[in-house]
Structure 1
Amino acid sequence: MKRRASANNTFRPVNERAVNGQLDDDYLQNASAILDKLKSYYRQGGESSNLSKVLQDYTQVILDITFYEENKLVDQEFPEDCSPFKIQQLLQDLTEPEVLAGRLAPTQEVQSMLGLELLECLYWRRGALLYMYCHTLHQRKQWIKKNKDTFLKCIQEGVRYLMRMLQVRNSVKLNDGVVLHDTATASFLSEGIFSDTHLLTMMYIGEMCFWAVKYEDCSADTMDRKEDRLQFRDIGTQILNKYVLACEGPLQGQGWNTENAKEILSILQ
């Protein structure tokens, strides 16, 4: 299940591995080092003014440890017996930094405590994990026949996380005194595209929306609580149109393929 790796190391794809597990070992060692530093901080009675830095360090520990656990699930191709429980545990772990930030600094915005990049990464990692899980389930036709509602719920949750990742940074408004001499950069920022991870997120959302539409359309059961469901057809169409425009415009020739996106659009539109 190989996916394009992000240029930004903070946004490590779930399945980015190294020979003999060295990459995983490095992440666990890094997490251990940060934990030791946090223990020292508390023993010395750290000042509240450093709370944001402490939360950011703790968040990095969570990201490294969960990355290791996620990779094991991917390597095992998401075993049916244990994956649902482990995925929910990982999602809970990746939610904890936001919860802590809200409790420890209730008067401040979560993004000011964690920083934009870490907050984006927390949403990305949850959404990407559910994408990889749904990607695997999508190939298990018999499982989906028996668990269609569970599949659709995973898709909806994953799309919500990925959409929130795209919304963490407000897109730059070019009429707000921002001067950009590079028109390609201006186009990206105005659409909320700040990295190749944002583009990859768009493709993930498009695919998940396609899967949802496919199984919603052939399921009478999905009429229940329909008002709570995302408008997958509309979301997928909007996001993939932006993806295609970016890849065939400023990013043309940079290795981004639009064939799958166009095929999905032909079905969604």
Structure 2
Amino acid sequence: MADDYRRQGFELERRIFELDIKCSSLRAEKQDDDYLQNASAILDKLKSYYRQGGESSNLSKLLQDYTQVILDITFYEENKLVDQEFPEDCSPFKIQQLLQDLTEPEVLAGRLAPAQEVQSVLGLELLECLYWRRGALLYMYCHTLHQRKQWIKKNKDTFLKCIQEGVRYLMRMLQVRNSVKLNDGVVLHDTATAGFLSEGIFSDTHLLTMMYIGEMCFWAVKYEDCSADTMDRKEDRLQFRDIGTQILNKYVLACEGPLQGQGWNTENAKEILSILQ
């Protein structure tokens, strides 16, 4: 057991000090960024812990802090890409790098705590956030590419691959929390809340995720028939029309039902549904 803790501590410690170097470099660009400041503060705490001889006996807490650093640093980097409107020359490489960074906490949790489920190590909220951030990044990228008609004509397959990957991440985000089974001894006096939970809607972010999925499925349906992919590769694709229809119907029912008057617009969702159905 002691050897396991030392091995876990060494690998995590190495990654923490690597992140600290990266964070310091980014703070040289923008010292007053709130997310980089938060990441730096957590890193200082983690470095102090290891310098004082701490062991990885509380691996879950260490990985959660590490994950928060990843989320903060990558958020700063994502915002730079969005502000620059995803430059064509460097965006593909930077996006793949960000996706890899946002995948690493799951990989580390699986490797360093193989006897536990990843969601029990990182916690539901952080795991949801990791999927949300990857899916939302690809949504924003595809939203920008969708407006570059000439680029899409030359790169349809790349565009569709980004959409598929993004939809998969967002669907995983919606599946992190198992929908509450209303017949499993759960007593909910608010029927609207009960309805949301039974459909897996736990927050505004879940609703926004549904709208993102619907839009991406619409873009895919619009362009996939024009793709030069072979039939074998097309068979591996998601059923965008079915997924988009199912998700947007839930979105509309929620926004025009219990959430009516709360600022959620359904016009775009209904327009997409009229095309998908």
In the superposition, the TM-score normalised over structure 1's length comes to 0.90
The answer (yes or no) to whether the contact 2:56–2:62 under 8 Å persists in 1 is no
Identify if the C-alpha distance between structure 1 residues 55 and 26 changes in structure 2 by more than 3 Å, giving closer, same or farther: same
The 3 A distance-change label for structure 1 pair 205 and 77 is same
Separation in 2, partners of 1:171, 1:71: 32
Structure 2 stretches lacking a partner, 5+ long: 1-11, 16-27
Count of residues paired in the alignment = 254
Native 8 Å contact 2:103 2:130 kept in 1: yes
Larger Rg: 1 or 2?
2
Counterpart CA distance in 1 for 2:226 and 2:14 is 29
Q: Does 1:43 align with 2:51?
A: yes
Q: Are the equivalent residues in 1 in contact too, given 2:179–2:200 (CA < 8 A)? A: yes
Would the alpha carbon gap of residues 116 and 23 (structure 1) be closer, same or farther in structure 2, given more than 3 Å must change?
A: farther
Give secondary structure in 1 for the equivalent of 2:151: helix
**Aligned-pair CA distance for 1:148:** 0.4
Question: How far does the alpha carbon of each residue in 1:123-178 deviate from its partner, in whole angstroms, 9 at most, with x for none?
Answer: 00000000000000000000000000000000000000000000000000000000
> Which residue does the alignment assign to 1:230?
238
Q: Is the 8 A contact 1:131 1:204 kept in 2?
A: yes
Q: CA shift at 1:73, angstroms?
A: 0.3
TM-fit CA distance, 1:2: 38
Q: Which has the higher contact order (CA 8 A, sep 6+)?
A: 1
Output one character per residue of 1:221-262: Cα deviation in whole Å (capped at 9) or x when no partner: 363411210000010000000000000000001000001001
Q: Distance in 1 between matches of 2:169 and 2:32?
A: 24
Q: Identity percentage over the alignment? A: 96
Higher helix share: 2
Picking from 146, 153, 156, the partner of 2:154 is 146
CA gap 1:191/1:21 in 2 versus in 1, 3 angstroms: farther
- Cα separation, partners in 2 of 1:24 and 1:68, compared to 1, 3 Å: farther
Moved more, 252-261 or 217-226: 217-226
Structural RMSD (CA):
4.8
Equivalent pair of 1:24/1:68 in contact (CA under 8 Å): no
The answer on whether the counterparts of 2:157 and 2:228 sit within 8 Å (CA) in structure 1 is no
What stretches of structure 1 move > 2 A for 4+ residues in a row?
Answer: 1-4, 20-24, 44-49, 217-224
